A and B are shown apart, each in its own frame.
Chain A
Amino acid sequence: MLPLPEFTVHTPASVDEAVALLAKLGPGAMLLAGGTDLLPNMKQGLHAPAHVVSLQRLGALRGVRREGDALVIGAMTTLDAVAGSAEAKTHAAALAEAAAVVGGPQHRRMGTLGGNLCLDTRCRYYNQTAFWRGALGYCLKKDGDTCHVVEGGRKCVAAASNDTAAAAIALEATVVLTGPAGIRRLPAADFFVADGARNTARREGELLTALEVPVRAGRVSVYEKLRRRGAIDFPLLSVAVRLDREDGSARALDVVISALAAKPRRLAAAQKLGAADLATLPIDTLADAALRECNPLPNIEGDVVWRKQMVRVLVKRALGRATSLA
């Protein structure tokens, strides 16, 4: 058995109650949604909060609904429900596809969209037991001051390992946070920050309550994940693509690449495409550009050379699929 550290559990019945609790308990409290990330991490001694605030009873945060020209997905909606939602599959296909390939079936039934968006970054030197990390001498992200990925590194480079992050950014989604000061909305692209030690902009005392995904006519999106096994594995690389078309031709393209560093990366080459380029959509050029832009680090278990080479392949496959759907 991997015993959990001791803590007190709180089960607020409303968002307001949860926010009030967080304010009262202070930084010693952690939020528990599906538990598929937090609990294994706690069992490995990565967190030892005195208080755990379970969001289990916040039924209001469950479900996918249409509000005007946006799809509002409650943070406590399970990944399984996101993957199976007809609305999500139609209007936020990349997100539904991403949710459908998180972990294994049990993780998707337990795990939530909010939990996946807030997933702790992962690293082969971090996601290990206390004994193992102690034998290594600990690391920058937890209990130590050395980075074992980048020699002499001062900044944690643990990898964003949430499948839904790249999709949320590509889909121009908005993260909705509720805190003591009220509701705060952040573009998903700004929600993630390039710090492996703490890679979201969620502030102390805030609760991620929903993801708002704009619904646009002529929009297609896809998600591609690299992993060794057909299930259970975290991504070794992930690519989300959004393609907006109008009157039969592409107007905008977004390619987001993740699982390489702490922050998902928007492919610059895709952003720079002019109208003429968009019309032809030079898949190979973009894939080559992606290969140049991305330099994976050996931060997660898996062949780093292969992960880099696969950037080109996955971008190509994602673009090919998006084009065929449009």
Chain B
Amino acid sequence: MSGLIGKAGRRGDLVQRALGSTRFTDDLHLPRMLHGKTLRCPHPHARIARVDASKALAMPGVAAVITGKDLPERFGIIPWTPDEHPLALEIARFVGDGVAAVAAADERTAAKACEAIEVVYEVLPSAVELDTAITKPEIGLGAKRQDNVSKAVDLAFGDVDAELAASEVVLEGDFHFEGTAHVPIEPHCAIAQVDAAGLLTVWSTTQVPHYLHRELSRVLRLSPARIRVIQPPLGGAFGGKSEPFGHEFTAAKLAMITGRPVKFLMTREEEFYLHRGRHPMRLSFKVGARADGTLTGIDARTQIDGGAYSSFGLVTTYYSGQLLTLPTTAKSYRFSSTRYFTNKPPCGPKRGHGSVQPRFAFEVMLDRLAERLKLDPIELRRRNAVAADSKTINGMRVTSNGNLECLAKVEAASGWKERRGKLGFGRGLGVASSAYISGTNYPIYPNEMAQSAVQLKVDRSGVVTVFNGASELGQGTDMLLATIVADELGLPLDCVRVVSADTDLCPVDLGAYSSRGTFMNGNACLAAARQVKAKLIAAVAAKLEVPEDAVFVTRGALCVKGREGDAVPVDEAIKLAEARFGALGAVGSYKTPPKLGGEYRGGTIGASPAYSFSAHVAEVQVDVETGVVDVVNVWCAHDCGKALLPTQVIGQLDGSVYMGVAEAIFEEHLISPSGLHRGPNLLDYRIPTSLDVPAIHSMIVESMDPEGPLGAKEAGEGPLHSSIPAVANAIYDAVGIRLSRLPFSPGRVLEALQQRGRG
């Protein structure tokens, strides 16, 4: 340790990104590159009877046209549910599903060529709305065409019925969430090229280069040895780039056909068709408690609107229940969740995959229970808090746990005790807390290999290059690894280079999802850096003829305890070590402990080597004339184990709160009953501007996780969860209305206020 860790320093990598040095995917222009466009289906559900591309092919500048028949293999992120085709093979399942793809000299020509392709559709009965999917199984969107079910999960822990029956208070509540989108400012883009030796290279805006590599190989029927995937730095993702997409395959296929590089850049409209946003859910909760506030039982029933394809849906269905046993628990818990297919853009993982919606429902139920039991809502959570070093009722191993400290921090910072309930009609405070995984021990496809690996290459010039498979999205993994290595080896930060997410250069990391980066990739990197450090120490010890345990690393040099004059500069130590051990390098890897999670089907989902904890207090001002909710302040305390890069951690907390509040107040991903998106653009899908955000007060709690790298856990997704129910509970404190449907738009607030006035 040489003092770089835990310092609130520069962002570090922002300058290159900001000033145009960083090449995002769309910034790459290859010689002779063609531009691709996708023709999309205008019907929610249709059989493709005939495609005639002859007019398009005859147009000057058009190089090739492909249809589903050119890529007949199915793909999907979850190996058990591959149900997508790069282009619809026989049946298109939503308005916007790809049907044909064109490569042409420029985007204009490609777009015109798409219009010239003639497609004859036979329109099929569709289930656009969740109700239709539930009530009309004969539409047959499911795998066996017998119903529209994508996945059903029923799990029970303890005797819920008995516990509820014996409870002094049992409350019921229904909740509705209609879906939101990721909206990174950078749209999806992919470029494919085949070189003279027959190597296919795909540059793509993906969070999962390794899975893309696998799926490209399967769909293109090309050995993975002939494919290289490079993920340039991303302009934001939030989960929206965490699985393979059709255009990645069509770019590759068209490059193989034409022999020229092909680029596909999605329009903002296409972004909304690719979607994979947060699932719409309808949740019914029953929660019981004893008079002293002990939570007895939770009974949750959830209907999930999955959209047209499986995506991560199998996992989503589990996540809609599995994480509700932390940080506040009941004595028994049961959840029943069913994900249905509908003829809409597919839903997938968005920051807080599957668990944000139930968290909203549950934390509002807790607020109602606290009121009924005349308990402070923070106190209710304290009385039912899961302890550190324990096991949840659904079998998840809990190690470090900063939940109570998070609650204490937001309680103090918000002036909770002095101010809550005393701010006058229209203004209020609300609290909520949550927990989230730091990666999962479920590797998507079953295998015994490492989940993350890092390779270090040490140069005589005093530069260390980190080759790692992890995906930099803007969250800062590259800086994290550089800092870990620089800190361990005593190097200046600018002497550590990071090469990321290139399947030819970097060892496998499973990708940037499930909040696994810091924990898994950080541990892999630390393991590698410590191997190099040991060699430097050994070489210096030999040279100075002192025992190895007398040598330690400081900034810039290796020193000997008690002999400060004998410092050896790090670059000298590197040369000594190279002379002694030969070329220097190291590989570090990380794999989760073998037995995490409960002994039941699905018990691995939600099982994580460590959990992060968050607590939020929101302060709102409700305009009772307009119904406009102004979220004035949000205090967010988050237990990230150890903040290795505090500036980045605070950035993740700020960003999570921002996104959660946006989902609470503004955003709603709506599809018309006809299957047509209500407004696939940034005017109709409104993400907040600088004038629409609360003052965010982010606070770090450090519980020093025993297995995290230098004690660290996740910070990127957890702190979103409780921001939404905190706002909901604050609205109740302000004006006495319970809103069960997100977002809390002014019309809904006003309607609830008017009902309250009448009632």
Contacts and interface: CB of A to CB of B under 8 A. Distances in A.
Direct contact of A and B (CB under 8 A): yes
A132 B676 contact: yes
B107 interface: yes
Contacts of A124: 678-679, 684
A310 B750 CA distance: 10
B689 A301 contact: no
A305 B747 contact: yes
B683 A127 contact: yes
A303 B40 CA distance: 29
A309 B680 CA distance: 27
A228 B688 CA distance: 9
B269 interface: yes
Contact of A3 (B42, B111, B269, B688): B111
Given A306-B746, A306-B750, A313-B626, A131 B43 contact: no
A124 B670 CA distance: 13
A203 interface: no
B692 interface: yes
Given A228-B686, A231-B691, A132 B680 contact: yes
Given A124-B684, A303-B745, A306-B627, A104 B689 contact: yes
A181 interface: no
B151 interface: no
B747 A132 contact: no
Contacts of B625: 313
Nearest to B677: A132
Nearest to A5: B108
Contact of A229 (B40, B688, B747, B750): B688
B570 interface: no
B531 interface: no
Contact of A132 (B269, B689, B690): B269
Interface in A120-138: 124, 127-132, 134-136
Contacts of A313: 625-626
B95 interface: yes
Nearest to B675: A135
A217 interface: no
A128 B691 contact: no
B622 to A, nearest CB: 14
Q: Which one of B40, B626, B678 has the highest number of Cβ atoms from chain A below 10 Å of its Cβ?
A: B626
Contacts of B267: 1-2, 129
A82 B692 CA distance: 25
A228 B682 CA distance: 13
Interface residues of A, number: 28
Nearest to A230: B691
Interface string A94-118: 0000000000100000000000000
B691 A301 contact: no
Interface in A255-270: none
Interface in B650-693: 666, 674, 676-681, 683-684, 686, 688-692
Contacts, number: 74
Contact of B750 (A134, A232, A233, A309): A309
A131 B42 contact: yes
B265 interface: yes
Given A229-B691, A229-B692, A231-B689, A301 B679 contact: yes
A233 B679 contact: no
Contact of B107 (A3, A130, A230): A3
Nearest to B623: A313
Contacts of A301: 678-679, 683-684
Q: Determine chain B's interface SS by DSSP, over half rule.
A: loop
Nearest to A305: B747
B683 A135 contact: no
Contacts of B111: 3
Contact of A230 (B627, B677, B680, B692): B692
Interface in B595-627: 625-627
Interface in B680-708: 680-681, 683-684, 686, 688-692
A39 to B, nearest CB: 14
Interface in A135-174: 135-136
A286 to B, nearest CB: 16
A192 interface: no
Interface string B249-268: 00000000000000001010
A319 B71 CA distance: 64
A132 B677 CA distance: 8
Contact of B689 (A129, A136, A232): A232
Contacts of A228: 666, 686, 745-746
A132 B671 CA distance: 12
Interface in A47-79: none
Interface in B462-495: none
A30 to B, nearest CB: 19
B627 A233 contact: no
A131 B269 CA distance: 10
Given A3-B107, A129-B269, A134 B42 contact: yes
Contact of A1 (B42, B265, B680, B747): B265
Contacts of A223: none
Q: Which one of B40, B107, B666, B679 has the highest number of Cβ atoms from chain A below 10 Å of its Cβ?
A: B679
Q: Which one of A1, A127, A305 has the highest number of Cβ atoms from chain B below 10 Å of its Cβ?
A: A1
Q: Which one of B40, B683, B690 has the highest number of Cβ atoms from chain A below 10 Å of its Cβ?
A: B683
Nearest to A104: B689
Nearest to B115: A130
Contacts of A128: 679-681
Contacts of A131: 40, 42, 269
Contacts of B676: 132, 135-136
Contacts of B677: 132
B747 A303 contact: yes
A135 B42 contact: yes
A46 to B, nearest CB: 13
Interface string A215-251: 0000000000000111111100000000000000000
Nearest to A304: B747
Given A1-B265, A131-B42, A136 B692 contact: no
A10 B657 CA distance: 49
Nearest to B95: A135
Nearest to A314: B626
Given A2-B267, A124-B679, A134-B42, A310 B691 contact: no
A116 B666 CA distance: 27
Contacts of B745: 228, 303, 306
A135 B43 contact: yes
A230 B683 contact: no
A229 B689 contact: yes
A231 B677 CA distance: 23
Nearest to A103: B683
Nearest to A3: B108
A232 B747 contact: no
B225 to A, nearest CB: 35
Interface string B71-115: 000000000000000000000000100000000000110010001
Contacts of B666: 228-229
B747 A306 contact: yes
Contacts of B686: 228-229, 233
A134 B684 CA distance: 18
Contact of B683 (A129, A234, A310): A234
Nearest to B670: A301
Contacts of B108: 3
B403 to A, nearest CB: 35
Contacts of A136: 674, 676
A45 B652 CA distance: 39
8 contacts: A1-B107, A1-B265, A124-B678, A228-B746, A231-B689, A301-B679, A305-B747, A310-B626
Given A129-B269, A313-B625, 6 more contacts: A3-B107, A136-B676, A228-B746, A230-B689, A309-B750, A313-B626
Interface of A: 1-3, 104, 124, 127-132, 134-136, 228-234, 301, 303, 305-306, 309-310, 313
Q: Which 7 A-B pairs have the closest CB atoms?
A: A230-B691, A306-B747, A135-B42, A303-B747, A3-B108, A301-B684, A231-B689
